[in-house]
Amino acid sequence: MDKGSGECTRGFLKGIIVVLAIILVINVFVLGMQSGELSVSKATVTAKVAGTTQRTVPEEEVPTVDLFVMSECPFGLQMEKALVPVMELLGDNANINVKWVSYLMHGEKERDENTRQYCIQKEQKPLYTKYLRCYIEKGDSSTCQREAGIDTAKLNACVAKAQEEYGIMTSWNDRNSWLSGRYAQFNINKEENERYGVRGSPTLVINGEQVRVSRSPEAVKEAICNTYKNPPKECSAQLSENQEAPGHGPLGVNTGDVAAAAANCGG
């Protein structure tokens, strides 16, 4: 066989291979369309656990999400702004809770608000998301209790019980028990703080693993939705990708403050 014929043969074989590859891709696409979906690999959520250990967050039928904050920490409020639209979107499809870092950095207002929100979640859970959105925006519990329809008598009774059960006022009044002599202990979620290595506000825990994500609704939604065994249809909704602003104020305001992206209150 002369050189020209060899090159022709090789070119012909390459052409056949390209055609076969195209047919294979088309068949895969058609099969995917017939089955109702294309096979798309799901992004892995990686947990950072109390130091440098990296682990994959386990998948669950219904994910459990715990956001540990201090109610007056500007960066905790920033993450709550990102979380609230996800709470509203997913509803009962996820078990989402706001919990409390086991010490206080922002005075009596934080002490009392932590306890109120603990009680609203415990006894009036269906009203909590509406209350939380209002409180994040306005920072006024009385107004937000009215707007959310909170049973104030029930709330006040729960607060008094929680103060006694968890020694909240005892810790507050005993300055010798304060961490570093500066921060009163707040022990409602102390055991979980220790279990998950919570050091500061905010700390996000999904299915028992500490994770770090951008403080935007879309990033938080994706972090949660990627841990479903079978994600609900709500996970296909697109939320804002803008990073929320720290502190009280309206949701959806992006200040462009890069430094606030990973800032927190405490350790």
Q: How many residues does the chain have?
A: 267
Q: How many structural domains compose the chain?
A: 1
| CA angle (250, 254, 255) in 5-degree steps | 105
Directed axis angle between helix 107-123 and helix 128-138, to 10°? 160
Residue 78 belongs to domain spanning: 55-266
The answer to whether position 77 is within a domain reads yes
pLDDT at 255: 81
Contacts (Cβ under 8 Å, ≥6 apart) of 156: none
The per-residue pLDDT string of the chain (267 residues; one tens digit each, 9 = 90 and over) reads 444 444 444 554 455 444 444 444 334 333 333 332 222 223 334 443 333 345 689 999 999 999 999 999 999 999 999 999 999 999 999 999 999 999 999 999 999 999 999 999 999 999 999 999 999 999 999 999 999 999 999 999 999 999 999 999 999 999 999 999 999 999 999 999 999 999 999 999 999 999 999 999 999 999 999 999 999 999 999 999 999 999 999 999 988 787 888 899 998
Q: Is residue 6 part of a domain?
A: no
Whether 148 is covered by a domain: the verdict is: yes
CATH number at residue 128: 3.40.30.10
- The amino acid present at 200, given as its one-letter code, is G
Q: Angle, nearest 10°, between helix axes 217-225 and 74-90?
A: 60
How far does Cα 257 stand from its chain's mean position?
20
Does the N-terminal peptide bond of residue 202 adopt cis geometry, omega within 30 degrees of 0?
Answer: yes
Query: 29 lies in a domain?
Result: no
What are the structure tokens assigned to 211, written together? 């994770």
Domain assignment of residue 28, yes or no: no
pTM: 0.80
Residue 250 within a domain: yes
In a domain, residue 232? The reply is yes
Other Cβ atoms less than 10 A from the Cβ of 142: the count is 10
Task: Encode pLDDT of 173-221 as tens digits.
Answer: 999 999 999 999 999 999 999 999 999 999 999 999 999 999 999 999 9
User: How far apart, in whole angstroms, are the C-alpha atoms of residue 75 and residue 82?
Assistant: 11
Question: Do the domain assignments include residue 32?
Answer: no
Tokens of 202: 């905010």
Q: Which long-range contacts (C-beta less than 8 Å, at least 24 apart) are formed by 131-136? A: 132/80, 132/84, 132/87, 132/98, 133/84, 133/88, 133/251, 135/71, 136/77, 136/80, 136/81, 136/84, 136/248, 136/249, 136/251
